[in-house]
Amino acid sequence: MPAPVKPDIDSPYPLTAAQVEKFRCDGYVKLKNALSPDVIDHYGPVITSEVYRLNTMHLPLEQRDTYSKAFLQVGNIWTKNETVKEFCWGKRLARLAAELLGVKGVRMYHDQALYKEPGGGVTPWHADQYYWPISNANSVTAWIPLQATPMEMGPLAFAVGSHRFEAGRELAISDESEERIGRSMKEQNYPHDDTPFDLGEVSFHYGWTFHRAGRNVSNQPRAVMTIIYIEDGIRLIAPDTKAREGDRAAFAADVEVGGVMNGRMTPILYCAD
């Protein structure tokens, strides 16, 4: 029997100059049909199965803190399942990350599933790069819903242009970050984009772009996979918070401070010819 044909996760996406400009100006971009329904149908159930197999959060929602109510969080799934690794190493999304950042190549920083359960709470305002001990802002998160994500599921929302605003970058995801960053975004008149995601739509946002998500008031889990890409050549900085110390231990334990992030956990996923 011939081997089944795997869905296309490698061919280039027809990215336009306007989309690149929007990303760099606004700090994020949402791309329709970045992945086909066949890709979602093939990889989504495997990712979901691994999330529930690896999940360690079993407290009832009402007994959790704000962070834990926001989602079930499972990372480094690519190291535990070959099919998930195949998805995470797909060239299409990695090439998009490089082209949006304007760099020759990108490495994986890590993957992370974020499953917002039915009844799950808000994801407070934050910037991802608060957690990352890396030397510059050439980092991007691909937010990949594994189903269409209407408003009632809590799609990702962005403060437009906020990647240039520095106040609040010192805050971890918390009730405090929700209140303080949310207030700052209103005071600084940053527009708020909280539109739904179609099936196959993927967003990319800079590590310093402020974003949040609402509650999941539907009766279905909001299944989302993320892949964080960093510029090939970015360096490890000395961790200055416990969060960054944890990230260094998890993703760059074999990299010296000041060295290029080229360790076992941060493979090159795309490099232009």
pLDDT tens for each residue of 88-102: 999 999 999 999 999
Is the pLDDT assigned to residue 143 strictly greater than 70?
A: yes
| Structural domains for the chain | 18-253 (2.60.120.620)
User: Do the Cβ atoms of 47 and 144 come closer than 8 Å?
Assistant: no
pLDDT of residue 207 exceeding 60: yes
pLDDT value of residue 4: 65
Q: Is residue 3 over pLDDT 70?
A: no
CA pair distance 216, 235, nearest whole angstrom: 37
Q: 6 falls in which pLDDT band (50, 70, 90)?
A: confident
- At 162, the pLDDT band (50, 70, 90 cuts) reads very high
- The three-state secondary structure class of 124 is strand
User: How far from each other are the two terminal CA atoms of the chain, in whole angstroms?
Assistant: 35
- Calpha distance 41→48 (Å, rounded): 11
Residue 50 binned pLDDT confidence (cut-offs 50, 70, 90): very high
